[in-house]
Every structure is written in structure tokens, then in C-alpha cells.
Chain A
Amino acid sequence: MRHGKYRFLIGALAPPLLLYGVFVVSPYAQAFSLALTDWDGLSAEAGFVGLSNFADLWGDKLFLAALRNNGFMILVVPTATIALALFFSACLTLGGGTRRRGVRGSGLYRIVYFFPQLLSVAILGVLFQFVYTPGNGLLNGLLGAVGLGGLERAWLADPASALPAVTAVMIWSAVGFYVVLFTAAMESVPVDVVEAAVLDGAGRFTVFRRITLPLVWDSVQVAYVYLGILALDGFALVQIMTVGPGGPDNATEVIGLTLYRSAFTYGEFGYASAMGVTLFFITLTLTALALRATKRERVELA
């Protein structure tokens, strides 16, 4: 049994670790040191500039606009997505009377709600660019058809509506996945617990708030972290959908786009790396915060 163990281990682990080391670990490590230089990609030597890239970030209008827009997404996307998903999953599992599990046709809803998860982000971008097109787009057509023609506008060309329009696509595409996740969790809530509560006179809302929600809180916590990471990105949608991209008037600029542009359009590789490092620390902080905030809540409810 011991025979050849290390030979097997080395043979099995060397290729994946080599792959991981070359393409993942080494770029991440290099990013931290590149961030302290003014490297332009051409010169052989990168000049060490200390933390000045990071200082420059705070005076960079574009980067600050990106921070603000990603901040907006972080505030809106996780909360709206989770609220909608929880609401739909509660309808699907608790609806139709608390004794019967699920409304009629709940299987079909689950199939349909999941559709957006199957569209790659590039497809989403191209599709919704059309949906928001002013002249013959779906959204304006829909508003006109239901008598809200007054709301019609050039969604992506108007600085006031461009960012909400992009954010709405994120929410539209994410809700279905979390409906499936939450309904699975809600169905594992024991029936007799729910029945006992109903016998004690609890209404649907009370059952949801006092029993279902605390028992699926783990899934909600996971959802917050995933959706927060999603909201810190937004690069592909913005790059494909918006004018500029990032416009109009930097209204849809996101951190990823600023980074991409300064690296691959302007060749400011050191500066772009400093943005990457900043993004990393933001991600880390927000993840820790989300886990901590939702953890406290869970203790309260349980």
C-alpha cells in the first residue's frame, strides 16, 4: 500500500501545481510589486515609485467615478436580487396554502426563471443593448404598449438612466439562480414545523419570517457574498452595452473598465496594477463585512 506513494503524488500533483503556479500564483504575486512601479510595458526596467500610484488614484476622476458606480451596484444588486429571489421562492414553496407544497406550475416557473443564467455575459450585453435601443427597442415598445409612453427614453444615452439600466440587467440575470437556490433550501424545511406554526395561528408572512427565513439564512449569506463580487465587476456588460464605453459622462465607468483601459489602451501597467491591488482589498473588506453582518443577524433569529 505504501509502495510508490510519493512517486504517484509527485506525478499527480506536479502538472496542476505547475499550471497554477505559472498562470495564477505568479501573476497575482507580480501584480503587487508592479503596483509600486511606473512600468509602461516597453522599457526593460520598471522604475520604483513607491505608493505614488495609489496616491494618484485618489485624484483620478475616472477611477473615482468607477468607485462611485461600483458602490451604487454593491448597494443595489445584492439586496434587490436577494429580496426578489426570496419573494419568488416563498411564493413557489409556501404559496397555494401552507399545507400544500408550492403553487400550481411551480416546476415550470423554476425552469423558466433559470433561463438568464444560461446566457453568457457577452450575450446579455448584446441582447440588452437592443432592448434599450431608443427607436425600435423592446423596452420602449413595451412602455408604449402599456400606455407609459411618457417614460420612453434613450436609456443608455441618458446619464441619469444608463447606470440603473446596466444594474437592472445584472439583477435580471441573477434572480433566477437564487430562486432555484432558495427554493431548494426552503423545501428542506420540515413540513411538520410549518404545520405546527399554522395550527398555532401563524399566517403566511409570519411563517416566512419566523421559520423559513432563519432556516435558509446560510444560503442568503452565500448569496450576499457572490452577488457583492458580481457587483464589483460589471466590466463585460459596461464594455459591450454602453457608449464610450463607460459613458455617457463616465456615468457607467466601473473599476474593471478603468483598469483595462489604462493597461491595454494607455500602457500604464504599473498604475493599472495599483487599481487591481485596490480592488483586491475592497473585495476582501466587503466579503469580511458581509460575512460578519449576516452572521450576527443569524444568531438573532436562530
Chain B
Amino acid sequence: MKRISGGVLHLVLIVWAALVTLPLLWAVVSSLKTDAEIFASPWSLPDAPQWGNWARAWQEAAIGRYLLNTLIVVGGALVLVMLLGALTAYCLARYDFPGNRLVYYLLVAGMLFPVFLALVPLFFVVDQLGMLGTYHGLILVYAAYALPFTVFFLHAFFRSLPSATAEAAFIDGCSHAGVFFRVMLPMARPGMVSVGIFNFLGLWNQYLLPLVLNPDPDRYVLAQGLAALAVSQGYRSDFSGLFAGLVIAILPVLLAYLLFQRQIRSGLTAGAVR
């Protein structure tokens, strides 16, 4: 009886694992087929792998450029929000000054509001600053919206750090900024890694903000580029090329995950529980 229920258990787990991997494997296989093969059957394997699909997606469909744009915007925003977020969280967690609580609650309240509420005025703010469709405009907006969670998470982290080291550094004549950059920031590394991973996936996931704020096709991020391709694919019917683009978009993050899967999972879930 126990053996049977154990078998059922395994079967259920395997079925879900298959449901999760099948669409991904299918996309990879389809990206190596010809269009004719794709139309013939969703199951068949390609006669010969069509690497040309990948080259076509990279070059003609500009997936390469979209990927580069994404790296610039997400990378820039990530560096900015980590720096500003850590600095803000540190000041709020370790310094007493009038208005401390007010600033903290103002920042953390940002997590309660749906981005859709800000969408219309945000468009005009960015427009008036002349930043529509620019890298720096998108970087600033991404960073601003990732700030509340970053501060919230790191605030708790800086609170939990011992103060003895910082005091010793002050006595040795270290400046306030010196204590932050040379003593406290290195000590906060585990927290920075967690929230950094969380922010990376959050920014990588953005679709709404670039859709509204980034109308220039040359500066499209991957999410926009893929969605636009999927719409226009109906006219050009280059399904194999689109599958190839999809796989190229999936691969970098999937590979990074396979290399660092334990850290990534624990970092992300630590972020959620707080």
C-alpha cells in the first residue's frame, strides 16, 4: 500500500515536471525546424537542424539588438537602484534624524500602489523631461520603481548588522561615507545578492513600462521586440525565425540559473518572505 502511494506520488511529480519542461523543449526543437516541418507536425524532429533560423532571428529580426538594449537598460537600472537603495536603507536604518520614519513609510508605501495608477501621469512626466524613448529615461524609471522593495529589504538587513565594527571604524577616523562603502556595504553582501537577483528578474520581466515609455523601435527591449515580432509574424509567416528568437531570449537567464540555481532560488524566496 505504501509502495503504491509512493509510486503515485512520483508519477504526479513527474507529470508536472513534464508540463513545465515540454513547452520549453518544444520551442527549442521548433527553432531548429523549417517552416514546412513546423506546419507538418508539432511533434516531428527536424531532418537537419536549421541553425540559419537563429542567425536570421539575431540579424534580420534584430533580436541581437533588443538583447543589447535590454542589457543596457536592465544593467544600468540595476546598478543605480542597488547603489541608491543600499545608501537609502543604510541611512534610514543606522541614523537617527527628524523625518526618518516619514521617509521610510513614504518609500515602503510605494509597494502598495499598482503601477497602472501612475501610468498616465508618468508618461507625461517622462515626456516633459524629454526622456521618452531614451535609455537614461527608462533606466531612471526602472530604478525609481524598484527602489521601494530594495529599501524595504535592505533596511531590515542593515538593522541586523552589528554596530561594533562601524564604531571602531569611526574611532579610527573613517568618514561617514567611508564607513558605508568600506565597512557596512561589504558586510551586507548576502542581502545585496538576494535583492539584486530579485531586482534583476523583476526588471527583466518589465513589459508595461517600456511599452508606454519606449516607443522607438531601435531602442526596443527584448520583451517589446518579441511581442512586436509575434504580431507581425502573422504577415511574414517566419515561424521558425520567431521560435529561434524566443529561444535566444530564454537561454541567457536559463543558463545563468542552471549555474547558480541554489543561490538564485534562496535569494528570491528570501526576498518574498520579508
Contact = CB atoms under 8 A, between A and B. Distances in A.
B117 A28 contact: yes
Given A136-B41, A219-B273, A115 B254 contact: yes
Contacts of B208: 235-236, 256, 260
B68 interface: no
B67 interface: no
A129 B26 CA distance: 13
A58 interface: no
A91 B204 CA distance: 32
A217 interface: no
B223 A118 contact: no
Interface string B146-167: 0110000000000000000001
B42 A136 contact: yes
Interface string B90-129: 1100010100000100110010111011111111111000
B141 interface: yes
Nearest to A284: B112
Contact residues of B: prevailing secondary structure: helix
Contact residues of A: prevailing secondary structure: helix
Contacts of B13: 88, 91-92, 103, 109
A196 to B, nearest CB: 20
Contacts of B205: 120-121
B9 A91 contact: yes
B120 A16 contact: no
Contact of B246 (A123, A142, A233, A263): A123
Kindly state the interface size class of chain B when it binds its partner.
Answer: 35 or more
A16 B85 contact: yes
A236 B120 contact: no
A96 interface: yes
B11 to A, nearest CB: 10
Nearest to B39: A136
Given A22-B144, A23-B140, 9 more contacts: A1-B170, A9-B91, A19-B140, A20-B147, A20-B148, A27-B118, A181-B273, A264-B123, A273-B121
29 contacts: A4-B175, A5-B95, A5-B176, A16-B84, A23-B126, A24-B110, A24-B144, A27-B120, A31-B118, A31-B121, A41-B124, A84-B16, A87-B12, A88-B16, A95-B6, A103-B10, A113-B16, A115-B24, A121-B205, A121-B207, A122-B223, A126-B242, A219-B273, A222-B272, A222-B273, A235-B116, A264-B212, A276-B117, A284-B112
Interface of A: 1, 4-6, 8-9, 11-13, 15-17, 19-20, 22-28, 30-31, 34, 41, 84, 87-88, 91-92, 95-97, 103-104, 109-123, 125-131, 135-138, 140-142, 145, 172, 175-177, 180-181, 184, 218-219, 222, 226, 229, 232-233, 235-236, 239-240, 255-256, 259-260, 263-264, 269, 272-273, 275-277, 279-280, 283-284, 287
Interface of B: 2, 6, 9-10, 12-13, 16-17, 19-24, 26-27, 30, 38-43, 84-85, 87-88, 90-91, 95, 97, 103, 106-107, 110, 112-114, 116-126, 140-141, 143-145, 147-148, 167, 170-171, 175-177, 180, 201, 204-208, 211-212, 222-224, 226-227, 229-230, 242-243, 246, 249-250, 253-254, 257-258, 261, 265-266, 268-269, 272-273
